[in-house]
Structure 1
Amino acid sequence: MNTMTNTIDWTSPDVLSQIVHNIKNPLETIITASRQHERPGHEIIFNSSKQINNLIEEILTEIKSKSVSLTFHERPDIFGIYEANENVQCMCAKKINPSKITKLDQNWLVNLEKEIYRSINQNDINIYDLAYKMAVSERQLHRKINSLLYLSPNKYIRILRLHKAKELIDNYIQNSISQVAYAVGYNDVHYFSKLFVAQYNMSPKELIHSLK
């Protein structure tokens, strides 16, 4: 049986903020004590402590601004795809309500999407490998995707594949149906076109022609 431990994301604003707060709290105690027991020779300690405290305040402000920026820019793609596409809405067992999904879970979905996009040109994205990269068991991955998006991992990956395919066409990156299909992991162009129609109500060929 495989056991996996969750890893700490040391780049996370929440984690960094907690570390800095852990330093800040005892430092404030030192500054207060220095003020109460001022004696010759203690001025250096007080001034140094105050400078460090000011620096920590600057770091906390920077972390907070980055946290707000992350929330704004790092919205999971699946939310926008779902909101704009009735066919995708019908694929979900229940209605997705992004406002009820915590920031932590949204960040988890963003990281999951990044892992999927890194392997999107592979014909078979291995669910076990994906779970390993997300530091959860395969069963936990199924449960989490299902509980947040009411989709199976395979349906979720398919939606993202076809979303990327549409982006390649919309942004004039590819105008060959076979190249688009291969770029998002489909070796069977006919099957790719069939799935594309099911998600977007038009074939890749029709979309390409509509943009000319």
Structure 2
Amino acid sequence: MNATAKKTTIDWSSPDILNHLFLHIKNPLDTIITASKPSSAENKITNEIIFSSSKQINDLIEEILNEIKSKSVSLTIQRRPDIFDIYESNKNVQLLCSNKITPEKVTKNDQNWLINLEKEIYSSISNSDLDLYELSCKMAVSERQLHRKISNLVYLTPNKYIRVLRLHKAKQLIDNYIQDSISQVSYSVGYNDSHYFSKLFSNQYNISPKALINSLS
């Protein structure tokens, strides 16, 4: 291997070059990395990128990260509980909470717990009688602990919390043109009575589901 190999210029316009390179960068740092790109359908020329030292690999990684940063590309998307976004964008939900939710004060572990809780609720959201005992079992806590943790983290009772998520999901179904029938939307999020659903939806979003559907038509 040539220790004085000249610097390789990366073609950033090449499709998926970033993913391709990352897949080939492994520990330890003296791993040989090879990237191939065909020049044409008939005549394929293989360009090898061979590194003689860990410094060359480190330099390449730094170059990749700088390029990604300059293009505003994020390697990982940090998820956070839906309830935070709902709360911050909806004054009616804010008034429903017994205290102010401050997301930055909620630990990462608790945020992950809320994300998992939301997944469990969404998976059974069409069930009109979402059982709190069953939900607590899925979350590996007692029903009392479930109540206390939801109350401490988002300042809502479990039933109010579930209702906020049901209506949030209903709005998504309408906004994304997935369903345009009030009865279909209400059944999809666990409300058998579409009139009652419409009342709750209006209270949370200051617009009836019918008016929202018509505004998007």
TM-score range, shorter-chain basis?
Answer: 0.5 to 0.7
Match of 2:127, SS state, is: coil
Whole-Å separation in 2 of the counterparts to 1:74 and 1:153: 22
Whole-Å separation in 2 of the counterparts to 1:176 and 1:73: 34
The CA deviation at 1:74 is 2.1
Q: 2:136 aligns with which of 127, 131, 136?
A: 131
Aligned to 1:86: 91
Q: Superposition pairs for residues 65-76 of structure 1, below 5 Å?
A: 69=76, 72-76=77-81
Q: CA RMSD in A?
A: 0.9
Tell me which of the two structures has the higher relative contact order, counting C-alpha pairs closer than 8 angstroms and 6 or more residues apart: 1
Structure of greater Rg: 2
**What per-residue deviation string (whole Å, max 9, x for no partner) do you get for residues 32-89 of structure 1?**
xxxxxxxxxxxxxxxxxxxxxxxxxxxxxxxxxxxx83xx432100000000000000
Aligned to 2:189: 184
Whole-Å separation in 1 of the counterparts to 2:80 and 2:100: 18
Identity %: 70
| Structure 2 unaligned regions, length at least 5 | 1-74
More helix by share: 1
Q: Superposition pairs for residues 164-175 of structure 1, below 5 Å?
A: 164-175=169-180
Q: Superposition pairs for residues 14-93 of structure 1, below 5 Å?
A: 69=76, 72-93=77-98
Whole-Å separation in 2 of the counterparts to 1:123 and 1:140: 23
Task: Tell whether 2:141 aligns with 1:141.
Answer: no
Ranges of 4+ aligned residues in structure 1 off by more than 6 Å: none
| Structure 1 counterpart of 2:213, one-letter code | I
The number of equivalent residue pairs is 143
Question: TM-score normalised to the size of structure 1?
Answer: 0.66
